[in-house]
Amino acid sequence: MLRVTCAIIQYKDKVLVAQRSQNMLLPLKWEFPGGKVEKGELDEDCIVREIKEELDLDIIIKSRLTSVVHHYDSFSLELIPFICLTDTPVFQRREHAQILWVEPTELRKYDWAAADIPIVEEYLKLVNDRIEE
């Protein structure tokens, strides 16, 4: 099965969300940036590489969330999410239609790729648990 990593990148109180471009698979759906794990590559190395390639952003990995197996009509994937940190909000937009820093409370507004929905929910639960502590 296709292994894909994605990053919930945090900067201060915001997280980065990206809209796939019209000519990508799942056009105009929102996702967390990332990409396919290469042969022999560690998931952790993949996400750091993809974020550097797609956004020219340096990240450090904070934690890993639960992987999601999802079956789209034309392919299946395992999506492996990481919570990551960066120390600058400045990124390059190289592949996506839009990339935005948003408040976690806004995350549910976006038209997510279906595989990302459980990841958004797990992340929101973590953020909310932290606020209630």
Ligand X SMILES: Nc1nc2c([nH]c(=O)n2[C@@H]2O[C@H](COP(=O)(O)OP(=O)(O)OP(=O)(O)O)[C@@H](O)[C@H]2O)c(=O)[nH]1
Give the separation between CA 36 and CA 52, rounded to whole angstroms.
Answer: 14
Q: For residue 2, with 0-12 CB atoms within 10 Å meaning exposed, 13-18 middle and 19 or more buried, which class applies? A: exposed
Look up tokens 């820093």; give the residue.
Answer: 101
Binding-site member from 14, 35, 118, 124 for ligand X (CB under 6 A)? 35
Binding-site member from 11, 32, 82, 123 for ligand X (CB under 6 A)? 32
Binding-site member from 9, 34, 55, 59 for ligand X (CB under 6 A)? 34
Minimum CB distance to ligand X, residue 132 (Å): 27
Binding-site member from 19, 31, 104, 120 for ligand X (CB under 6 A)? 31
Residue 130's φ and ψ, nearest 5 degrees, are -65, -40
Where along the sequence are the contacts to ligand X (CB under 6 A)?
Answer: 4, 6, 25-26, 31-36, 77, 79, 113, 115-116
